[in-house]
Chains A and B, each alone.
Chain A
Amino acid sequence: MVNPLTYVFRRKVTEKFDFSDAELEALGSELKAEVNQVFGSSLAIRELDSGSDNSTEIEISNLGTPYYDVERFGISFVASPRHADVLLVTGAVTLNMAEAVIKTYEAMPSPKFVIAVGNDACDGGIYKGSYAVLGGVDKILPVDIKIPGNPPTPKEILRGIFALVKKASK
């Protein structure tokens, strides 16, 4: 029989990862404390691209990579809007996506929040004035927080999420 204690004392399976970012860790632990209090320990985010240049999505998905690994802070990206607390929208809303954006928002249970990520989601950005876009996300949805940038860095996005959690607690 295997002694269960060997599992406790054996070497960790996780690889050594020689990376540490004090600023990120501090932000993360503050965020985690807030998420625990405001959202019952887990904040579910649904990402929605409504017509960005894809760099913003790349930075958002980078939040899940080993350098950031935001699941540690109680944040998870969920597959369905029905599981989401927050809708993270990127891109100037295109005419072709407008209906899908509204349907996605409507599918979310209340209370729900919207964050616009990137210059184009904030006010249409470079696509402003094109026949094919409506402009910023606030043209069709109530936006709680705007995170500008072309694209914002993963840390800036995390700060924006933190700002939302703070706002939601009020």
Chain B
Amino acid sequence: MNSNQNIKSSLTLADPKLIDDCQLPMNPAIPATQYITNLLNDVSGKQPLIGKGKNNELYIPLGEEEFLKIMPVLSQKGFVLISLFCVQSFEGSSGFTLFYFFRRSGFTEVFAFIRHAKAKTTSIATIFPSACWYEREIRDGFGVEFTDAFDKRRLFLHEAYPEGFHPLLKSFKNGKIQAVENPREAYPFKQVDGEGVYQIPVGPVHAGIIEPGHFRFSVIGEPIFNLEIRLFYKHRGIEKLAEGKTPSACVPIAEAISGDETVANTVAFCTAVEKIAGIEIPARANHLRTILLEMERIYSHMGDLSGMITDIGFPRMTTPFLILRENIFRQNELLTGSRFMKDNIDIGGIKKDISGETLSKLSLYLETFAPKFESAVADVRASSSLIDRFSTTGVLKRDSLLHLILQVPLPERLELLMISGLTTHTESIEPSLRKERSGLQEMSFPALKLRLQKFRTQLSLYENS
């Protein structure tokens, strides 16, 4: 782990000035294809063969030499790595194909750079630190070594898995494996040395009714100097489970990824299949999906709000949000027969239609939701001890944002984060959001209110039709 110590100084980040410039929208007159062609031509003198995907994504295959040349340039130009994944024997090719997905402000397109790799390749985590986990994930899954990576620890395969086991290789047929008994090697957490520094391990089983995770706090007295989080205790092999199955058989698997994202994950999966297969779904199914997605979002918001208030130790304020959350669960049940809206979304649309009558009942309920929500929010605002505890908690520094390319789910979560002081430094999020900046005294929930507004509009459309 020694190599881990100077990561920050060794990062080849672009000049901050450049990044700032890049956050300003580019001249939209230049199409993305043209932009990336010019860029590659400047860097390597070659013309790429750009393919267009069905969902506004550009596929740019690169030779190894061009790939290595273009990565630092992408960083300088303000590209953000949003995903990285590996496919074995993609379209009949040998070895592994790595897909590097980028976004850049000013373009609506997603840029996918395609790189071929054998058992060993190089890391881009010193240029894009957010690649670190993706690369560790690929190493675990496929056994591809990123030879110069600064962090080569295993990620989702913990000590119980034998070394050299790579579940996503096509050669591995899913089934029971022999787990390592009494593993010798412990996970090497980052060590922080110095006078008065000590570590507090928390988890994977911890106090609340909550999913497992391990937190390793390095503290100096009261202040937390470093926090390292280890996750994936719940690795259930979902990707492998889906391998070789028909798309319809994968729908329940997508649904089982996460209970409170049932609709979101299933709609995402079905939309992907529909795009690939060129399936048009009926307008009504699309509207109903939107309603279910919004219901899921609303109860999640209620859960987040009460969770944040619980976390600062003021449970009395959480009850109105918890009541509203339970009400939404009950509405979900009326709409779909399931409190989590399970078994409703399918490829091509939706499994069961929801009657106009049920929808108007929902509309009636929402009329009562908004005032109760507003009154709960007013109570939160009026509590000085609550505001006092939030205002200095969880401040996110601009520095961390740039290094980790942290993504804030925008704009809906922004207002919620604002309570916790997470976005006290709003200027670091995105220039377009600066105008939404507001002090704690002025905090409000316009995003959620807007959602409710849209939601009601949509419902009234049904009533009229």
Contact = CB atoms under 8 A, between A and B. Distances in A.
B234 A91 contact: yes
Contact of B175 (A52, A66, A127, A129): A129
Scoring B160, B177, B206, B209 by chain A CB atoms within 10 A of each residue's CB, the highest score goes to B209
B160 A100 contact: no
A110 interface: no
A106 B262 CA distance: 34
A131 B174 contact: yes
The B contact surface, by secondary structure, is loop
A142 B79 CA distance: 53
A58 B211 CA distance: 10
Contact of B256 (A61, A79, A127): A127
Given A49-B210, A67-B323, A131-B240, A100 B256 contact: no
Contact of B241 (A54, A95, A130): A130
Interface string A102-133: 01100000000000000000000111011111
A150 B235 contact: no
Contact of B205 (A48, A57, A91, A127): A48
Contacts of B238: 127, 130
Contact of B207 (A55, A79, A99): A79
B234 A97 contact: yes
A96 B235 contact: yes
B204 A97 contact: yes
Nearest to A55: B259
Interface string B257-276: 11110100000000000000
B60 to A, nearest CB: 34
A62 B208 CA distance: 13
Interface residues of A, number: 47
A98 interface: yes
B176 interface: yes
Contact of A104 (B205, B232, B257): B205
B54 interface: no
Given A95-B160, A95-B179, A99-B160, A51 B240 contact: no
Interface string A35-50: 0000000000001111
12 contacts: A54-B258, A65-B323, A65-B325, A79-B207, A95-B161, A95-B177, A96-B156, A100-B204, A100-B212, A126-B252, A132-B167, A151-B259
Interface of B: 156-158, 160-161, 167, 172, 174-177, 179, 204-212, 232-238, 240-241, 252-253, 256-260, 262, 303, 319, 322-323, 325-326, 329, 339-340, 342
Given A55-B340, A94-B236, A131-B175, 13 more contacts: A47-B209, A49-B211, A53-B258, A53-B259, A57-B211, A57-B259, A61-B209, A77-B209, A96-B158, A99-B160, A100-B212, A126-B253, A127-B237
Interface of A: 17, 47-62, 64-67, 77, 79-81, 91-92, 94-100, 103-104, 125-127, 129-133, 150-151, 153
